[in-house]
Amino acid sequence: MTQSALKLGFIGLGIMGTPMALNLIKGGHVLFVNTRSKVPQELLDAGATACTSPAEVARQADIIFTMVPDTPDVEKVLFGDGGVASGLKGLGNDPAGRGKTVVDMSSIDPIATKAFARKINALGCDYIDAPVSGGEVGAKAASLTIMVGGDQAAFDRVKPLFDLMGKNITLIGGNGDGQTCKVANQIIVALNIAAVAEALVFVSKAGADPAKVRQALMGGFASSRILEVHGERMIKRTFNPGFRIALHQKDLNLALQGARALGVALPQTAIAAQLMQSCAALGHGQADHSALVKALEAMAQHPVAPDA
């Protein structure tokens, strides 16, 4: 271990977590890992140490990252039997246990996030919520957008590690604000996917070539990253998951729950959520969220392009 290397923990080694963890190792740090299934061999080959529980990760590492699917998963990892909090408590009066930092990079409920932060703070440790955008491609390329909620000192301490995983890194505000920003991100992404899907179903049904229409639109005001990437997926029928419909459903439900609590109307978000639900009902819940187009195709009884 070099003098500048840190002892880090990473819990949750799925599609996103594994490449993010690998990038931390590539940055020269020592990594202790845990996941609900088998630790990927590529992480072990890179030098990661597998731990039997989140608590063990917390005991070994000074900064602990979590990257799991949903709010209940984060709660279980942090506060369940053998969770991170029990590992922090298990340090007893050891002053080395105080001042550790827990960084949750999952996309979860902002209100629950604030409660989790208070519990971790009560143990003498910092808590940061830092959800990401950019999908598997961004995780592998270390180009994720990272939306951070936490205090400035904790952010400054973790920022060099965020730099190993992402490019656009912003401290939004206090705990929960990172998650609020991610919910906003998911609203915008979902509505853009729905807009692109509607447009491509329309042009295909009208008899125009959707690939050539997309090419033309990429040079105009309608151009967007969603049209570029997800529009191509809809045309080429490549729905292998970069970000699953089931996970985007979860995020839109968070948006609608928050809207009810705030007394805010999000009518277009509600429609996008129903389109996602339709896709799940058609058996596409584990497909990429660009497969939202399949709900519109079913209603039109016309696909944008033939399935392979």
Could you list the active site residues? 182
Residue 125, both tokens: 């440790």
DSSP string, 107-138: ---HHHHHHHHHHHHTTT-EEEE--EESHHHH
Q: Please give the backbone phi and psi of residue 13, each rounded to the nearest 5 degrees, phi first.
A: -120, 60
Listed in sequence order, the residues at least 6 apart from 115 whose beta carbon sits closer than 8 Å to its beta carbon are none
Contact at 8 Å (CB) between 146 and 121? no
Phi-psi region of 237 (alpha: psi -120 to 50; beta: other; left: phi over 0): left
Beta partners for residue 7, in sequence order: 30
DSSP at 242: S
Contact at 8 Å (CB) between 292 and 193? yes
Contact at 8 Å (CB) between 13 and 25? no
Contact at 8 Å (CB) between 214 and 248? no
Nearest by Cα to 12 from 104, 82, 126, 129: 104
Report how far residue 18's alpha carbon sits from residue 67's, in angstroms, rounded to the nearest whole number. Answer: 9
User: Is 298 exposed, middle or buried (CB count within 10 Å of its CB: 0-12, 13-18, 19+)?
Assistant: middle
